[in-house]
Amino acid sequence: HGEGHKLSPSEVPFAANIFALKKLGVHTVIGSGAVGSLREEIAPGDLVIVDEFIDKTFRRTNSFFGGFAAVHCEMDEPVCGRLRKTLLDAAKDIDIKTHPKGTYVCMEGPQFSTRAESLMHRVWGGDLIGMTAMPEAKLAREAQICYAMIALASDYDCWRPHEPERDRQTLLKEIISNLQTATNNCLELIKAVLTSGRELVYEDCRCRKSLDLAVWTDQGQIDPANKENLKVLFE
């Protein structure tokens, strides 16, 4: 959201961020973000190692290739399986409640869900609701980057009504406290990953070859200047 949380989710420069990371030589990204829980068993403060997404965004640039090439990356497994396993293995080394999987519903925002929408997301099979995982995960796949997501549960979404006697200020303080707890837990998990000696760069991973069969446009029809501008994505 930028320094001082000035950008709404729709304004975050996802493509620029991923492109800059790839240009710097980054091949592995662990994303994180606050979410509302759609499940009773995912309590505020818990971590979730996301394995699936439902993308409801519609105002964001979700491809590097729009306007000059048809590029269709596979998203049947939207996060890197090997990186997920690394996170799951590291989670076993620490005493923090971490859920091994969860479906993240990414909405456009910036407004939160209506109760009807929240209930619908549960029927869809969603476990979490947030605003920032997409198109980050899709762009990482186009950049041939291994990507995984740690979701930080800050509260229950509005499918679960708050107790009527609790005022908004009290609820906000609780959400901030829960998010701080989840943030500390997330940092603890990442520290466990970094100090474990586990492999974090997977040269033979399918994520690193996601563009091999994805470009459907005739190469002769693609502007050479566009090819040059985006060549780092193919490295």
CB count within 10 Å of CB 214 equals 17
Distance, in Å, from the CA atom of 118 to the CA atom of 57, rounded to the nearest integer, reads 15
Quote the tokens at residue 12. 């975050």
Instruction: State mean pLDDT over 25-38.
Output: 97
| Residues 199-215 pLDDT 10s | 899 999 999 999 999 99
The CATH number of 9-225, from 2.40.50.140, 3.40.640.10, 3.10.290.10, 3.40.50.1580, is 3.40.50.1580
What is the reported pLDDT for 57?
Answer: 98
**How many Å from the N-terminal Cα to the C-terminal Cα in the chain?**
28
Query: What pLDDT is recorded for position 91?
Result: 96
The yes-or-no verdict on residue 129 having pLDDT over 80 is yes
Position 167 pLDDT exceeds 90: no
Instruction: Check whether 190 has a pLDDT greater than 90.
Output: yes
pLDDT of residue 66: 92
Supply the mean pLDDT for the chain: 95
Contact 151, 32 (CB under 8 A): yes
Residues designated catalytic: 155, 157
Distances (CA, A) of 5 to 2, 11, 102, 116: 5, 11, 26, 28
Tell me if 73 sits within 8 A of 48, measured CB to CB. Answer: no
Interval 44-59 mean pLDDT: 97
β-sheet with 103-106: strand ranges across: 52-55, 103-106, 128-130, 28-37, 146-156, 47-49, 98-99
pTM: 0.94
Residue 161, amino acid: P
Helix (H) or strand (E) holding 49: strand 47-49
Task: Supply 103's token pair.
Answer: 């479906």
What type of residue sits at position 160? R
Alpha-carbon gap, residue 195 to 191, rounded angstroms:
6
